[in-house]
Every structure is written in structure tokens, then in C-alpha cells.
Amino acid sequence: MIHSLFLINNTGDIFLEKHWKSVIGRSVCDYFFEAKDKAGDPENVPPVLQTPHHYLISIYRGKLFLLSVIQSEVSPLFVIEFLHRVADTIQDYFGECSENVIKENLVIVYELLEEMLDNGFPLATESNVLKEMIRPPNILRSVVNTLTDTLPTGQLSNVPWRRAGVKYTNNEAYFDVIEEIDAIIDKSGTTVFAEIQGAIEACVRLTGIPDLTLSFMNPRLLDDVSFHPCVRFKRWEAERVLSFIPPDGNFTLMTYHISSQNLVAIPVYVKQNISFFDTASCGRLDITIGPKQTMGKMVEGLSVTIPMPKSVHSANLTATQGSYTFDLATKVLVWDIGKLNPQKLPNLKGSLSIQSGVPKPEENPSLSIGLKVQQLAISGIKVNRLDMYGEKYKPFKGVKYVTKAGKFQVRT
């Protein structure tokens, strides 16, 4: 299984290494650096590499690489999932997964890695269990250090995701239904492809061992779902309700996917024209955004991101609403619009100048749209009710809906 782990920042420095079996020299990473140089962008480094004696499986998160060294035939997804879990845990403990944070908490990170993997086999990866053994760095840490002498209860119970003896004065369970629209719109405005990635994020702070049941008004919409291990699959299959003993705190209860074969509502339309002239070294840009299928809700947080061709030198534009920035180094144009006013459609217009002597760009830049619609799940999914069994008290309950743009791209 997983032999060693190296944490590498995006300039190529190894700043942490952990070996679960014998020690493997850092030189093994040279193959990775070679691939990294070849790929150019750190995002483009292939996740599975082969070297004469090892396999290197890596993920790229938060501007750093988690690189694992493998010596035998394994399931690469196993490793990739585990590496993401490591990053998740670090994020959970310290608020973010970055080089600075890890360097500041090196020993805890090292302890965590030791607890998460034994001989390359995952040991404790549930954040609840880990937190019982290794306290996150807060004031409590020094005080309750001695608590760790007891066996973490989650390790062996039937509900390994929940720690025992949870107590709250305010018992509350909140669920956020978050839907992201992934779409490709072609230059004529036709939807080439659109699908919805949905997730129900839960924040549950309930005393004892509550048993929750969540039901939907229209469960038939959900035919492609992935559940947190706490969800009882049998009941979902039979009754289409989510029945579960929740982990303590924040977790993703389920994710779902509404495929491109269903009709997906697109909240905005984009009229755009980006062209470069053959003769003069300049081009024009004209973008207007208007509401399409907003279900009567306000579209907020509207933004447009355009990675411009490398030869674009500067942009001289006027926005009727919001502001724009053009990053000279990355050549990314960002137009921050804010709320969409259906009466007065936002427009961005003006000229682009190109470095002189460079031929006119061949590629057509794609637009990435960002947006947010509160109190709306664009798929139409609705939670019907939430019931709690097993405990006597009456919890606060709440469900929020929000629709966002995921990978929402408009081609030009």
C-alpha cells in the first residue's frame, strides 16, 4: 500500500516526508519534478507516474502537492482518495491546507499522518476519531492532553463516524442543499451540455445518539446519489428517505448528480462578442448578461472570468455595473458584477490591445461565469421533513437552498 508521503510546494521544495515502511530517499521525487517541469502548469502534472522501482501518485491541492510513493500494485483511486482525506483533515484541523499552516503545526501533522495510516493501510481517517486522539491546536489542547489515554470510542463502534458522549446545550441540525450548475454554452447561446452537481451539507450539533430521518418532496429527481457512510442504503432503496445517525459537526450527507439527459434550467444568458482585428493590433469586447430561468429569484454574486490569449497586452473597457480587473501577468480578465438587475442589464464593452508585431490570437477565449441564487435549488429538489428519534429533546432544525455556477462556461 502507501509507502511514503512527501509534501511538496509548487516551487518544488519538499517540506515534509513520512515513511510508513522503510525509508525511501528523496531522490525518488526527481521523477516527479521532471514531470512537473514538462507539464508547465502545476495543475497539469499527471496524477499517476511510473518510475523504475516505484509508482508516484499525487494530488495538487491548495498550491501544494501531496505525493505518495507506492511499491506494489494498488488501487490508485484508493491512494488519491486517501491523499484528499489527508488534505481534508489538515484543513479541518487548521482551517486551511497550505504550506505555512503545515510548517507551523509540523508535529501535529506528523502525528496525524501516523494515526491515519499503519503500514500503508488506513487506520483512522474519520475526523471525529482523530480529534479524540490528537487535539486540534486550540487552548483546550494543553488542558485536555491527558484525555487521549482512553480508547477512542469511534474506532470500534458501529458508528465509527460519531464520537460518544456528545453534549450540547443548544441542539441544532442545519442542512444546506447546494447545487452547482456545470454547463457549456456555445457561442450562439445554445446549451451544449448542462448538469447539476448537488450536495447536502449538514451541520449537526445534537446531544447523545440521535437517529435522523430526512425525506424529500420529490425524491424521484435523485437517481444518481452518493452517500456518507452513515446513511442506511436499504431504507433509501425501499422508501427513498435518508435515515442516519449523523457524525458530530459538519459533514456532507450526500451528493447527487442530475445528468445532462434531464433538462437543466440555465439562470442567465450571455451575449458576447470578442474579436481581434487582422490588421490593427487590437480587438473588441462586448459582453451583456441577462436573466433567463431564474424562477423569480435574484441572481447575485455574478462574475465573469476570461483567460485572455497571451498576446493581449491591455484592456480598455467600460462596465455599466461592477468593476473589472485585468491581470497583466496571468492575462485573466475578471469582471465583478454583483446583483443582476433585470431592468438594466450589465454590460462590459471596450477595446483590447495586442502586443504589436504578434499575430492575431488564434484561440477563442472561453468565459467562466460565477453566480449564486439564494433560496433556490435549480433542480427543484425540496426537503419535506426532518424527524429525530432516539433522543427526547427538541432540536432546532433548518434547511437552506442555494444554487451556484459550477464549471459554467460560455464559448466564444
Partner 1 sequence: MTDSKYFTTNKKGEIFELKAELNNEKKEKRKEAVKKVIAAMTVGKDVSSLFPDVVNCMQTDNLELKKLVYLYLMNYAKNQPDMAIMAVNSFVKDCEDPNPLIRALAVRTMGCIRVDKITEYLCEPLRKCLKDEDPYVRKTAAVCVAKLHDINAQMVEDQGFLDSLRDLIADSNPMVVANAVAALSEISESHPNSNLLDLNPQNINKLLTALNECTEWGQIFILDCLSNYNPKDEREAQSICERVTPRLSHANSAVVLSAVKVLMKFLELLPKDSDYYNTLLKKLSPPLVTLLSGEPEVQYVALRNINLIVQKRPEILKQEIKVFFVKYNDPIYVKLEKLDIMIRLASQANIAQVLAELKEYATEVDVDFVRKAVRAIGRCAIKVEQSAERCVSTLLDLIQTKVNYVVQEAIVVIRDIFRKYPNKYESIIATLCENLDSLDEPDARAAMIWIVGEYAERIDNADELLESFLEGFHDESTQVQLTLLTAIVKLFLKKPSETQELVQQVLSLATQDSDNPDLRDRGYIYWRLLSTDPVTAKEVVLSEKPLISEETDLIEPTLLDELICHIGSLASVYHKPPNAFVEGSHGIHRKHLPVQHSSIDTGESPVSSGPAANIEQTHVIPSQGDLLGDLLNLDLGPRSTCPRCPPLTVLIACNSVLLLQVWLPAVKAKGLEISGTFTRRQGQMYMDMTFTNKALQHMTDFAVQFNKNSFGVIPTSPLPVHTPLMPNQNIELSLPLNTIGPVMKMDPLNNLQVAVKNNIDVFYFSVLIPLNIFFVEDGKMERQVFLATWKDIPNENELQYQIKECHLNADTVSGKLQNSNIYTIAKRNVEGQDMLYQSLKLTNGIWILAELRIQPGNPNYTVLYSNFATETCVKV
The Cα angle at residue 293 between residues 375 and 385, in degrees rounded to 5? 30
Helix axes 76-94, 106-116, angle to 10 degrees: 140
Contact between 188 and partner 1 per CB under 8 A: no
Contact between 63 and partner 1 per CB under 8 A: no
Nearer to partner 1, 198 or 395 (CB): 198
Contact between 77 and partner 1 per CB under 8 A: yes
From 108, 245, 352, 388, residue interacting with partner 1 (rule: CB under 8 A):
108
* Binding range to partner 1, per CB under 8 A, among 162-170, 182-190, 282-290, 295-303: 182-190
Nearer to partner 1, 80 or 334 (CB): 80
* Binding range to partner 1, per CB under 8 A, among 168-176, 222-230, 272-280, 388-396: 222-230
HEC string for 42-73: HHHCCCEEECCCCEEEEEEECCEEEEEEECCC
Contact between 393 and partner 1 per CB under 8 A: no
Nearer to partner 1, 157 or 215 (CB): 157
Environment class of residue 244 by beta-carbon count within 10 Å: exposed (0-12), middle (13-18) or buried (19+)? buried
Q: How far apart are the first and last CA of the chain?
A: 46
Minimum Å distance from CB 215 to partner 1?
A: 17
Quote the distance between the C-alpha of residue 393 and its chain's center: 34
Minimum Å distance from CB 342 to partner 1?
A: 28
From 31, 92, 122, 349, residue interacting with partner 1 (rule: CB under 8 A):
122
Minimum Å distance from CB 234 to partner 1?
A: 8
User: What is residue 234's DSSP assignment?
Assistant: H
Residues 307-326 that bind partner 1 (CB under 8 A): 307, 309
Contact between 274 and partner 1 per CB under 8 A: no
Minimum Å distance from CB 184 to partner 1?
A: 6
Residues 226-265 that bind partner 1 (CB under 8 A): 226-229, 233-234, 236-237, 252, 254-255, 257, 259-261
Nearer to partner 1, 191 or 375 (CB): 191
Minimum Å distance from CB 227 to partner 1?
A: 6
Cβ-based neighbour number of residue 118 at 10 Å: 12
Long-range contacts formed by 342-347: CB under 8 A, 24+ apart: 342/290, 342/291, 344/320, 345/288, 345/289, 345/290, 345/320, 346/288, 346/289, 346/302, 346/319, 346/320, 346/321, 346/322, 347/286, 347/287, 347/288, 347/319, 347/320, 347/321
Residues 3-22 that bind partner 1 (CB under 8 A): 14-22
Nearer to partner 1, 192 or 295 (CB): 192
Nearer to partner 1, 6 or 401 (CB): 6
User: What is residue 131's DSSP assignment?
Assistant: H
Do residues 192 and 185 touch, judged by C-beta distance below 8 A? Answer: yes
Residues 331-390 that bind partner 1 (CB under 8 A): 362-364, 366, 368
Contact between 34 and partner 1 per CB under 8 A: no
Question: What x-and-dash track marks residues 144-163 binding partner 1 by CB under 8 A?
Answer: -xx-xxxxx--xx-x-x---
Nearer to partner 1, 294 or 311 (CB): 311
Minimum Å distance from CB 98 to partner 1?
A: 13
Contact between 164 and partner 1 per CB under 8 A: no
User: DSSP strand E in 168-248: where?
Assistant: 172-185, 191-205, 211-216, 225-227, 241-244
| Dihedral, 338, 342, 348, 349 alpha carbons, nearest 10 | -170
From 284, 349, 382, 411, residue interacting with partner 1 (rule: CB under 8 A):
411
Give residue 165's identity as a one-letter amino acid code: G
Contact between 26 and partner 1 per CB under 8 A: yes
Cα dist from 70 to 3, 20, 21, 47, whole Å: 5, 11, 11, 13
Do residues 58 and 65 touch, judged by C-beta distance below 8 A? Answer: yes
